[in-house]
Amino acid sequence: MTREHGDVEAVSRRRLALAGGVAGLAGVVVSQVLTDLLNARATPVQVVAEVIIAKTPGAISEPLIRLVGRNDKPILVAGVTIAIIALGAVAGLLTARRRLYGHLVFWAMAAIALVAAITRPDFTAYSVLPLAAGVIAWTVVLDHLTGVARPQPTLQASRRRFLLNAGGVTAAALVVAAGGRLVGQGRRSAESARRLLRLPVSRGVVPAGAQTASGTVSWRVPNGAFYRIDTALVVPAVDPKDWRIRIHGMVDRELALTYPELVARQLTEAWVTICCVSNPVGGDLIGNAWWSGVRIADLLEEAGVHPGADAVKQTSKDGWTCGTPIQALTDGRNAMLAVAMNGVPLPLEHGFPVRMIVPGLYGYVSATKWVVDLEVTTFDKFSAYWTDRGWSERGPVKTESRIEVPGQGTHVKAGSVRVAGHAWAQHTGIATVEFRVDGDPWQQADLGRVPNLDTWVQWSGTVQVGSGDHTLVVRATDRSGYTQTAARADVVPNGATGWDHITFAAT
Ligand SMILES: Nc1nc2c(c(=O)[nH]1)N[C@H]1C(S)=C(S)[C@@H](COP(=O)(O)O)O[C@H]1N2
Ligand SMILES: [Mo]
């Protein structure tokens, strides 16, 4: 072997090791960023560190922990990261023999992380996604950089090319990691501020007789099952200590409130069903909860609304806007700046720390989450997020009803069949619900009890069916005397109409 040849080999070995180390780092970063975006509890590296802590015998760990104090976890996380980069370097070197050998090192590390994750009590299949993304990053970066590391016609050019690539990937990884940390940090600090809050709110008691039907969605929808609609790719993380709301525009006195000032005011609590204008007939973009907050009418009264104002334009922390008629905010209904949902501070996804709730209007014209600004104005002076995209300026909820039992396409026993679901006409109230099987006459449903006009109502009944296929239809009549039209309208521009129907088979 000539001396020159030996130099080239040394150079390319160094490059392969560097390529592998950079690949290792890229995988760690990608898995960390995905963990933050998915709001998973811990990164794969953290999970491995936790398992190491759990499995280390006390005789060894205790003196160590005494030595490093409460920094044991961060130190271990850093150690695992360094180990991954070092093993990545080994993987890079092994690609000189065969590319597969390099990949095997990464797969072995992934297998360890997978086993560590599965042994954790909060394991879900979903929590494997960050790890899978990290493995893909490892593979792609390793193949790319080891490819670039191969000797080129001139030594100078190939050196420059390799260093540019390796440096570029490293810089990108560090920038992404820093960005990801920022996003994740905001979320974590908002979450912990939320956990520490003790609000003077109640959980709300489901009124006797409201939950009558069995097999339906529950009358009170738990926060974890509540539908979610918004334009936010990343949920805004707003710390209550940084939250302010400004009430301004056509008012005598501008108001500015901090979170403690808001929750120190008289709180109002109520059952309100909110729903999305995009809910198709029979759809599930609707939910009922016990909301606690401050009545907007009181705030507007204090600010002194100028005559002639007809709208309140709301802006959220993330720049989303909507407009609500002042009349709906001041006519005595429970329109509020809500701070709690079913007795706990709003979940981040549902607008923490403060959102609007207005009975009787679709969410896109009233239910601003992460709200920070209320401008008293007139409808002719502004347009809002969804009105700019073809939806109506005004969005009163349309009277609707939905079949939940039996399920679409299910099989039941011929004879008496229980039928049930929900109907709603927020702030108008449901008067009657009727259902009909096949071409038979309409039958009156039994209605659950409701505390006010602003919630959905459970309906139920019985139909007699012989064996064969059947169609069930439902329609509601509200307290204004309006019976749902059978005419089907699309959700655009101001909400769907039509009767919900399902087919089922009896044997
Ligand atoms: N900031 C903000 N608030 C928003 C939205 C949004 O996109 N951004 N979507 C609205 C729509 S269209 C609906 S239907 C409700 C849904 O509220 P939920 O996600 O708590 O069910 O929020 C409303 N508030
Ligand atoms: Mo919506």
Answer yes or no: is 193 within a domain: no
**Residue 474 near ligand 1, beta carbon < 6 Å:** no
Question: Is residue 330 in some structural domain?
Answer: yes
User: Hey, what are 299's tokens?
Assistant: 């705030």
Mean pLDDT of the chain: 92
Using one digit for the tens of pLDDT, what is the confidence trace for 361-402?
999 999 999 999 999 999 999 999 999 999 999 999 999 999
Report yes or no on 446 lying in a domain. yes
- Token pair recorded at residue 108: 């072995």
pLDDT confidence band for 49 (50 / 70 / 90): confident
CB atoms within 10 A of CB 362: 28
Q: At what angle do helices 44-55 and 129-149 cross, to 10 degrees?
A: 110
Supply the pLDDT for residue 127.
76
Kindly report the CA angle at 403 between 402 and 405, in degrees rounded to 5?
150
Phi, psi of 260 (to 5 degrees): -60, -35
Angle at 275 between CA 274 and CA 277, to 5 degrees: 145
> Which of 363, 389, 415 is where one domain is finished?
389
The Cα–Cα gap between 93 and 494 comes to 63
Q: Which of 182, 88, 186 is nearest to 143 (CA)?
A: 88
Exposure string (b/e) for 248-257, b if CB count within 10 Å is 16 or more?
bbbbeeebeb
Ligand 1 lined by 352 (C-beta under 6 Å):
no
> Does residue 306 sit in the same domain as residue 271?
yes
Q: Is the pLDDT of residue 65 over 80?
A: no
Whether 370 and 412 map to the same domain: the answer is no
Residues 252 and 307 in one domain: yes
325 plus 469 within the same structural domain: no
Average pLDDT over residues 471-485: 98
Q: What would the pLDDT profile of 133-166 be if each residue is shown by its tens digit? A: 999 999 999 999 988 877 666 767 788 888 888 8
Per-residue pLDDT band for 234 (boundaries 50, 70, 90) equals confident
Q: Are residues 381 and 407 in the same domain?
A: no
What is the domain count for the chain? 3
What letter would DSSP give residue 14?
A: H
pLDDT-based confidence at residue 33 (cuts at 50, 70, 90): confident
Q: Are residues 7 and 145 in the same domain?
A: yes
CA atoms within 13 A on the CB side of 270: 24
* Confidence check: pLDDT of 1 > 60: no
pLDDT of residue 51: 85
Mean pLDDT of 116-131: 82
Sequential DSSP letters for 27-58: HHHHHHHHHHHTT-SS-HHHHHHHHHHHHS-H
Domain membership flag for residue 208? no
Residues 419 and 302 in one domain: no
Decide if 214 is inside a domain: no
Q: Which of 357, 389, 421 is the last residue of a domain?
A: 389
265 and 375 co-located in one domain: yes
Domain limit, last residue, from 184, 210, 241: 184
- Give the pTM: 0.75
Cβ proximity of 281 and 497 under 8 Å: yes
Say if residue 478's pLDDT is above 90. Answer: yes
175 and 250 assigned to the same domain: no
**Which pLDDT score, from 0 to 100, does residue 8 have?**
67
Cα(471) to ligand 1 centroid in Å equals: 34
If you average pLDDT over residues 452-474, what whole number do you get?
Answer: 97
Q: Based on the fold, state whether residues 112 and 260 are members of the same structural domain.
A: no
Environment of ion ligand 2 (residues, CB < 5 A): 229, 276, 363-364
Specify if 394 maps to a domain: no
Sheet of strand 411-412: strand arrangement: 411-412, 500-506, 468-478, 430-437, 443-444
Inform me whether the pLDDT recorded for 183 exceeds 80: no
Evaluate whether residue 395 is within a structural domain: no
User: Ligand 1: does its nearest atom lie under 6 Å from the Cβ of 450?
Assistant: no
- 177 and 320 in one domain? no
Answer whether residue 201 is part of any domain: no
The response to whether residue 358 sits with its C-beta less than 6 Å from ligand 1 reads: no
Q: How many residues does the chain have?
A: 507
| Maximum alpha-carbon separation in the chain | 99
- Give mean pLDDT, residues 438-466: 97
Q: What is the share, in percent, of the chain residues with pLDDT greater than 70? A: 96
Both 419 and 349 in one domain: the answer is no
Report the CATH number at residue 299.
Answer: 3.90.420.10
Q: Which two tokens stand for residue 455?
A: 């919630």
Q: Whose CA is nearest to atom 24 of ligand 1?
A: 368
Q: Is 162 helix (H, G, I), strand (E, B) or coil?
A: helix
Query: Which residue range forms the structural domain that includes residue 52?
Result: 3-184
> Atom 5 (ligand 1): residue with closest C-alpha?
230
